[in-house]
Amino acid sequence: MAQILALVDDIFFLAKMQETARKLGIELKTVGSGDALLAEAAQTPARLLIVDLNARQGALEALEKLHAAGNQTPVIAFLSHVQVELAERARAAGCRQVLPRSKFTQELAAILASARS
């Protein structure tokens, strides 16, 4: 079981997440599209899903499909702070938390560490 499965297509942010996970000793599996998230979530259950709602390939659609399928894995999503409507849609699609990118970045280590418990 992967501890965390993340949909992130920003290579700089991806590197930050991978480095933080490595320092914490947490397994982080990353994918670059909504379709890949769906496929990986079906194959390898995770303790936590992290989704960059600004990913270019189907992030919100993947969340909606997971929610419709009865996903029970906690989901934390992040986005630009001005995208209020997108945040509301993500919450409706089952996201436990929807955070502005800046807050997600500040709390990244704690968020990743939460998958251990």
- Report the CATH number that the domain containing residue 108 is assigned in CATH: 3.40.50.2300
- Neighbouring residues of 113: CB distance < 8 A, sequence distance ≥ 6: 24, 26
Which residues form the domain of 80?
A: 2-116
Span 25-59, pLDDT tens digits: 999 999 999 999 999 999 988 999 999 998 888 89
Q: What is the pLDDT of residue 14?
A: 94
**Number of domains present in the structure of the chain:** 1
Q: Is the dihedral of CA 52, 47, 96, 88 positive or negative?
A: positive
CB of 58 closer than 8 Å to CB of 33: yes
Task: Give the global pTM.
Answer: 0.91
Q: With bands split at pLDDT 50, 70 and 90, how would you rate the model's confidence at 117? A: low
Spatial strand order of the sheet with 97-100 comes to: 28-31, 2-7, 46-52, 75-79, 97-100
